[in-house]
Structure 1
Amino acid sequence: MKLAFGIFKYFPHGGLQRDMMRIAAEAVRRGHRVTVYAISAEGEIPAGVKLELLPVSGWSNHGRAKRFAAALRRKFEAEKPDLFFAFNRMPGADLYFAADNCFALSAQRHPALVRKLLPRYRTFLAFEEAIFAPQAKTVILYLTPGQLRDFQQVYHTPAERFRLLPPGIPADRRRPEHPEPVREAKRREFGISADEILLIQVGSGFRTKGVDRSLRAVAALPEELKKRTRLLVAGRDSGNTCPKLAASLGISNRVIFAGGRDDVGALLLAADLLIHPARNEATGTVLIEALAAGTPVMATANCGFANYVAESGGIVIPADPFEQETFDRELAAALSTPGRLEQLKQLAIDYGAKADFYRRAEAAVDYIEEAAHAGNR
């Protein structure tokens, strides 16, 4: 088949982008032709996948999104792909990868007049409705039960249009038989001594991921515990807000901002605990990656994959409302209670050894082929 994948921006360290390229690589492996269309892109793409940029102008994200959707329509009139698989909300999709939570539901936190008047809300609400309206035809690949509940609550989308995807991470994220050499090498790379506790947070978009919450929690640790605790932040962010916050909290020497990384699996083996106090997180693939590596997790309950954290014996922090003091207290207890960190780690190792986290790309391509055979276009 001739498949068109659409995404606003491609960069190699985004969770959505990694999912898309794994699905594209699996589709190519099965003999399909895949072209990824994007406004902008950086980094390598899998062999056999074609990347075509459709640069559009505009002062705002929603303006560029509208122009990109229009450019795709014109492109598809000429190219005539068999199926269009959208990885961001946009009209005209045969399949949609629901990496984000329901926009209409989150927008309800703002006044109705604001939602009606601001072009950003109007645009993205219209794009979402084009996918989820009862009369639409798009097949929706969703990731968590909470997404299904929310989308059906708002749009009354027929249940038969939803397909649940399992977690999906590369098989090389499994904890190796002998992790110690990797762990020791990565800790040496960042100057982490054997007796220091290494916390890790992974993700791009620091405010959404709650990096500021993590910084405040580290700053709130008892002084002696703080002296032997380090936080490594792996991911990209616009601006310098979090490094400035770390400086103002007096913990710059306890925090490493490592930028986007290609060695997340090794970093997770080096860490003693992953913390992820996100404000909004449809899934949280890194939570699964950590558990596969045998690294325990502390995350907020609003993460789509928080259920896996709970099942693994990890720590789930209430998110609605989130209380910084609760997070601070739970983190300090996990790090200071004798034997607690070792217990959490063993639980994560045992859970990760049994879990199957590796079939998302295969399942997604199964659904692509199912849609084609059903004559979805």
Structure 2
Amino acid sequence: MNNTQDDNIRWDKLEEKLNESASDEAAGSDLTSEEQSVFLIFKKIRARLKPVDVQKSFPLEEGWTSLKERIEAAEGLQKGKLRSLRIFRYAAAAVLVIGVSGAAWWLITTRSDDANKKTIAKTKTEIHQKAELSPSDNVQIVMADGSKVDVDNHPKTITEANGVAIKTADGAVQYTAPAETSTQEVSYNSLIVPRGRRHQIILPDGTKVWLNSASKLSFPTVFAGKSREVQLDGEGYFDVKKDMTKPFVVQTTEAKVAVLGTAFNVNTFDKKITLENGSVKVTAHEQDVLLNPGEQANASGNLKKAFVNVKDVTAWKDGSIFLDNVTLAEIATVLERSFDYDFSFASPSVGLQRFTLGMKTPETLEEVLNNLRLLAPQLKFSVDGRKVLVSLEKE
């Protein structure tokens, strides 16, 4: 097998490790982080398949090529135009054994064989798209006096009373403090990003923050004290300007994250802090934990940490989606924030089905729903205005 440049994955090495993993618990330990992600998902696929269906060898690269061609043909797409969807690539070996719909179905649920056959026999789910996929609100700055500035219609520069200049350009808000800040009056601003939007802000110290949809960052317009403290509600990725004399602190309702200079992601929706590089100290529930690169702290209960794929966690920065083994209800929550829609389910059981979904910069909700439909043809999405009802086709 020839290695491709796709995701820089050594397919022959991965195939070898997958074939070893059934009897060797240490198999896969020398793979790259990207290969580890594929390795773990393939192991999940193999665990779900019946023993009679599992081949001794996983033809990964050929499987991905075959699957792309079949999906393109089914969707009437020009060859090579299929948008990258990681779950299909990772499920390629299973596809060669039981087919496109079968592989998706085994990944999603463990229903009876009869139910599986009925579901696999179904083709496309009708999607009623009746609304424009545009955000309902604009990004806003809340000034110290409580007034609000619409960033999208913002003049090029605003100068506050304490001399701080606020500029908007190229999708970012930039704060610039005057040269002398020790005697400056400290005032606080907030940047509010509504559902369906993302935005970047450069703080007075040069720290860059990417805010995800439905998020709010509150911060002083001048970092005049012994620390640089901000408050986050939602999700943000921080690339902190190094300053050994002033720790940078992110406060949330559940935790406090303290750093000197590093890059990390804070998600208050899931109460998780993920470190990309440098080091951070997370404090929550009267507990402390130090994170190393590639680790994630979970502050939803007793503070604990685990290794994660940071690229997947921070995929939202570029408008991408990667969700690993989550329920449809959890996916819907992310889509509500990302595209400014409200989801509901015909029955609670519909939202309990589990998926692994990855998409590169989907521009519309319809793109995501179409890919979910490919994974599970039994799903039906009825869109009315900005409301989406998810149900199952009658069998």
TM-score, with length taken from structure 1 = 0.24
More strand by share: 2
More helix by share: 1
TM-score, with length taken from structure 2 = 0.23
